[in-house]
Amino acid sequence: MEITNDTADEMWLRASVMMRRANHQTFEVNVDATGEDAVSLRLRSEIVQWLRAPLVSDSAHATVILRTVTAQVADGLKLEGPAADEGWHIHVPALSEHEKGKSSDPVIIESPSTRGLLYGFYAWLEGAVPSASMKPQDKISSPDQPIRMLDQWDQSDGSVERGYAGESIFYGRWGSNVHSEFVNFPDRGAQDVFRGDTDRLIAYARFCASVGINAICLNNVNVRGYAIRFIQDPWLSRVAQIAHIFESFGLSVFLSVNFAAPRIISGLSTLDPCNSDVQQWWDKTVDRIYERIPHFGGFVVKADSEGEPGPYQYGRTHADGANMFARALARHGGTVIWRAFVYNSHTDWRDRSAAADRARAAWENFHDLDGKFAKNAVLQVKFGPVDFQTSEPLNPLFFAMKHTNLIMEFEVTAEYLGHQIDLNFPLPQWEQMASWLVEKNVPVSKTLGLYAPNPQLTGFAAVSNVGMDWNWTGNPLAQANLFGYGRFCWDNNIPTTSVSEQWSALTFPRCDQDHQKTIARMLDQSNEIYKHYAAPLGVGFMVNRDGHYGPGPDDYEFSRWGTYHFADRDGIGVDRTQSNGTGYVGLYPEKQAKMFENPNTTPDDVLLFFHHLPYAFRMKDGRSLIQRIYDDHFEGAARVEDLIRQWNSCKKFVDECRWKEVSHRLLLQQANACEWRDEMCTFLYRFSGISDEHGRKINR
Ligand code: GCV
């Protein structure tokens, strides 16, 4: 297929596409990945398509050479870390000499693996674009994390749970725009179909690979409907076709499975993970999968959570559950990724005991199981203890599990962060979370996997944000979130500004540099702005229950979901201290526990997560708590106007389509921010009776 397709958006490859179109340079490329394996084939076809260049067998005359080497790539240059074999070294001769044809030196891209050559090739392609800030001369880079994964919450009926960019790119409904040969087996009366839009899947896989994503789970962790049967033929053969595309771009493919599949599919009377019939059922299922998908990555499992079945029903632990899958997968080199998002959603808001504190749930369910998981099992833990809120402290499980492979889980999709309507580039949040792991100057790249029984099984996973929308992500600027996630997985310390500037230069190559920087600045400010006008100071869950967009301060307050802010006439926040509250603070190591126990040393961002405080409480900056909340909400809403001004200044540099789409969404964001401001300020004024010192008008 052609690389670019005018009906689709090229995301951050736009600059490379433009360069390719304009390029009159002729390349001759020599690549030593000559095998017939999927990645080598893909690498060669990408080179030919992007450079319009012949592949030559003689490296002596080549202008670009891609070659596999050891980790010691050149004199004094060595690729390091647990994923060194995916790293690359690029040598670009000085541009001017090369351009003028004075240099006889070729561009050299080298890596210990073909996958690494593919990453190096994209990195060179991006860096070779004149307007991009990245111009490698002699650059060496390897990923900080071995697992860099995207989770699709796509469902077999074409919907995407928490998706804000249209229908699934993988699945659809009979009658919608799907390729007929991919329609499911009408004799079974199925309405759900594999969409069969191969071009779009190839494009998506390419985007993923271009930022170093190396694993993908193809379906939602809530496994419903026909998705339960993806592990069996005839559905499995369709999954295998999709897997083949992603594998060729270096991504391992995973499936989410339903713990109850043996009963649903084959009528087994028990699902007990220690029962040999159940084990055998999974063994056979896994064998069949590997016949179809020899490099299959493994399973992702959500169990005993939000209504999903799991081992608790049989008096077994989550380690028993995970290890059953691990045993079946180990025989083929596969991995089970077991989610730690397990909590009892049936609580009572009046109960303020430790047992009712949802923040404790993951820790309570898993800390005792440290060291009990199989070597090919990984525990996937959401970054915060509750649920992807705007501000949460790091989940204490990351400190407790010293003998377990761990993945830290994020959302690229903006479930609680504005649905890709409001501008929200969450890289600062992810970086903050990862940085909490840093201990005694050991960098994040090492701390997450420091104690992992298998150092290859550690890293990050995030829920993706793409769909069938023309620009992939609904809001064209939300493409930056996907790009940023890839960059962050690769380099855990990459500064936000450098990512936003890279992205903006690659995505808006027609913009002058000043305006590229303006767009980058909008991204850099956006997460902070959103935090200012949404739920205050880490209290969380004041969001509208009907979809999680916009304010709903009472929506979860008296429900059974265990997520309360406890605002009353005296104060607001959840007391999680050891001295007086749910004792959650005590789940942290001493240093952090000491900091969180005292409101004066707790970071403002998570103040109300840890403390129930009176409205008159003096903040570090001298303002009262209530005044700070009023001020933040007014400031947040006002700063959206500033985002609009900045975007307007870019108008003449941005194509009409993207300019209008973003403008429209910024106006919606403005309305949302004002609604948050007015609703929150009114809500807390009603409780506290304390007026805004500045006498600003609250509209409601
Ligand atoms: C896939 C939150 C989301 C759910 C999601 C769940 C999870 O509760 O709102 O949509 O379910 O997290 O991570 O499993």
pLDDT at 689 over 80: yes
For ligand 1, whether the C-beta of 561 sits within 6 Å is: no
Q: Using an 8 Å Cβ cutoff, are 88 and 80 in contact?
A: no
Q: What is the mean pLDDT of the chain?
A: 91
- What proportion of the chain, given as a percentage, has pLDDT over 90? 78
Predicted confidence (pLDDT) per residue in 353-367, tens digit: 899 999 999 999 999
SS (H, E, C) 282-345: HHHHHHHHHHHCCCCCEEEECCCCCCCCCHHHHCCCHHHHHHHHHHHHHCCCCEEEEECCCCCC
Predicted confidence (pLDDT) per residue in 55-64, tens digit: 999 889 899 9
Which pLDDT score is estimated for 441? 72
Give the fold, CATH level 3, of 13-141. Chitobiase; domain 2 (3.30.379)
Q: Where are the alpha helices (DSSP H) in 541-622?
A: 590-597, 607-610
Predicted confidence (pLDDT) per residue in 185-198, tens digit: 444 455 667 888 99
| Element at 598 (helix H, strand E) | none
Average pLDDT over residues 369-388: 97
Predicted confidence (pLDDT) per residue in 467-503, tens digit: 999 999 999 999 999 999 999 999 999 999 999 999 9
Which pLDDT score is estimated for 699? 64
In ligand 1, the atom with minimum distance to the C-alpha of 409 is 13
> Which residue in 46, 154, 415, 431 is the catalytic one?
415
For ligand 1, whether the C-beta of 345 sits within 6 Å is: no
Q: Using an 8 Å Cβ cutoff, are 507 and 488 in contact?
A: no
* Tokens coding 492: 């855990």
CA distances to 351, 378, 412, 681 from 444, rounded to whole Å, are 37, 18, 20, 38
pLDDT at 178 over 90: no
Q: Using an 8 Å Cβ cutoff, are 209 and 118 in contact?
A: yes
> Which residue in 306, 512, 570, 655 is the catalytic one?
306
Please give the DSSP secondary-structure letter assigned to residue 540: -
Cα(161) to ligand 1 centroid in Å equals: 8
The answer to whether 126 is a known catalytic residue is no
Which pLDDT score is estimated for 173? 80
In ligand 1, the atom with minimum distance to the C-alpha of 222 is 1
For ligand 1, whether the C-beta of 222 sits within 6 Å is: yes
Predicted confidence (pLDDT) per residue in 265-276, tens digit: 999 999 999 999
CA distance 403 to 66: 39
The answer to whether 306 is a known catalytic residue is yes
**471 vs 179, higher pLDDT:** 471
The answer to whether 415 is a known catalytic residue is yes
Report the relative pairing of strands 459-463 and 377-382 from DSSP bridges. Answer: unpaired
Predicted TM-score of the model (pTM): 0.95
Please give the DSSP secondary-structure letter assigned to residue 588: S
Report the relative pairing of strands 147-151 and 72-74 from DSSP bridges. Answer: unpaired
For ligand 1, whether the C-beta of 301 sits within 6 Å is: no
Report the relative pairing of strands 252-256 and 298-301 from DSSP bridges. Answer: parallel
Give the fold, CATH level 3, of 147-498. TIM Barrel (3.20.20)
Residue nearest atom 7 of ligand 1, based on CA coordinates: 341
Strand (E) positions, 314-471? 335-339, 377-382, 405-411, 459-463
All CATH 3.20.20.80 domain ranges of the chain, comma separated, are 147-498
Which pLDDT score is estimated for 213? 98
For ligand 1, whether the C-beta of 358 sits within 6 Å is: no
For ligand 1, whether the C-beta of 341 sits within 6 Å is: yes
Which pLDDT score is estimated for 175? 63
In ligand 1, the atom with minimum distance to the C-alpha of 305 is 14
Q: Using an 8 Å Cβ cutoff, are 71 and 112 in contact?
A: yes
Please give the DSSP secondary-structure letter assigned to residue 485: H
Nearest to 310 by CA among 347, 263, 355, 265: 263
* C-alpha dihedral, 237 to 241 to 243 to 248, nearest 10°: 150
Q: Using an 8 Å Cβ cutoff, are 592 and 576 in contact?
A: no
All CATH 3.90.1330.10 domain ranges of the chain, comma separated, are 536-574+612-688
- What proportion of the chain, given as a percentage, has pLDDT over 70? 93
For ligand 1, whether the C-beta of 387 sits within 6 Å is: yes
Cα(565) to ligand 1 centroid in Å equals: 20
Give the fold, CATH level 3, of 536-574+612-688. Alpha-d-glucuronidase, C-terminal Domain (3.90.1330)
